[in-house]
Amino acid sequence: MTDPAWINAALTSARPPALGALLRYFHDLDTAEEAFQDACLRALKTWPVNGPPRDPKAWLIMVGRNAALDGVRRRGKQNGLPPEETLSDLEDAEAALAERLDGSHYRDDILRLLFICCQPDLPDTQQIALALRIVCGLTVPQIAKAFLVGEAAMEQRITRAKARIAQANVPYEVPSAAERSERLAAVAAMVYLVFNAGYSAGSNPARGELCGEAIRLARLLLRLFQTEPEIMGLTALMLLQHARAAARFDAAGEIILLDDQDRALWDGKLIAEGLALIDKAMRSHRPGPYQVQAAIAALHARAARPQDTDWAGIDALYAALERMQPSPVVTLNRAVAVSKVRGPAEALAMIEPLAGRLGGYFHFFGAKGAFLLQLGRSKEAHAAFDQAIALAGTPAEAAYIRMNIDRLIRESGG
Partner 1 sequence: MLYAILCYNDEDTVWSWSQEEDKAVMDRLAVVNERLTKAGKMGASLRLLPTTAATTLRKTQDPPLVIDGPFAETKEQLLGFYIIDVADLEDALGVARELAEANPGGAYEIRPIALFNPDARSPAPSTTHQ
Residue in 206, 235, 20 with CA at minimum distance from that of residue 117:
20
The count of C-alpha atoms lying within 13 angstroms of the C-alpha of 181, restricted to the half-sphere facing its C-beta, is: 6
**Among residues 180, 216, 357, 363, which is the contact residue for partner 1, using CB under 8 A?**
216
**Among residues 122, 165, 301, 335, which is the contact residue for partner 1, using CB under 8 A?**
301
Q: Does 12 bind partner 1 (CB under 8 A)?
A: yes
Q: Does 200 bind partner 1 (CB under 8 A)?
A: no
**Per-residue binder mask for partner 1 (CB under 8 A), 88-107, x = binder:** ---------------x----
**Per-residue binder mask for partner 1 (CB under 8 A), 303-342, x = binder:** -x--------------------------------------
Q: Does 351 bind partner 1 (CB under 8 A)?
A: no
Residue 342 makes CB contacts below 8 A (sequence gap 6+) with none
The C-alpha atoms of residue 401 and residue 392 are separated, in whole angstroms, by: 9
The C-alpha atoms of residue 391 and residue 408 are separated, in whole angstroms, by: 19
Backbone dihedral region of 183: left (phi > 0), alpha (psi from -120 to 50 degrees) or beta? alpha
The C-alpha atoms of residue 1 and residue 7 are separated, in whole angstroms, by: 8
The end-to-end CA distance of the chain, in Å, is: 66
**Per-residue binder mask for partner 1 (CB under 8 A), 111-140, x = binder:** ------------------------------
Nearer to partner 1 (CB atom), residue 55 or residue 70: 55
**Among residues 9, 41, 44, 148, which is the contact residue for partner 1, using CB under 8 A?**
9
Residue type at position 248: R
Nearer to partner 1 (CB atom), residue 220 or residue 358: 220
Q: Does 214 bind partner 1 (CB under 8 A)?
A: no
Q: Does 227 bind partner 1 (CB under 8 A)?
A: yes
CB 19 → partner 1: shortest distance, Å?
14
Q: Does 226 bind partner 1 (CB under 8 A)?
A: yes
CB 268 → partner 1: shortest distance, Å?
4
Nearer to partner 1 (CB atom), residue 232 or residue 401: 232
For partner 1, which stretch binds (CB under 8 A), given 77-85, 180-188, 224-232, 386-394?
224-232
Binding-site size, partner 1 (CB under 8 A): 38
CB 10 → partner 1: shortest distance, Å?
5
CB 295 → partner 1: shortest distance, Å?
15
CB 220 → partner 1: shortest distance, Å?
7
Nearer to partner 1 (CB atom), residue 49 or residue 356: 49
The count of C-alpha atoms lying within 13 angstroms of the C-alpha of 395, restricted to the half-sphere facing its C-beta, is: 6
Q: Does 13 bind partner 1 (CB under 8 A)?
A: yes
* Cβ 187 vs Cβ 111: under 8 Å: yes
Q: Which residues bind partner 1 (CB under 8 A)?
A: 1-3, 5-6, 9-10, 12-14, 55-56, 103, 212, 216, 219-220, 222-223, 226-227, 232, 235, 266, 268-269, 271-273, 275-277, 280, 283-284, 301-302, 304
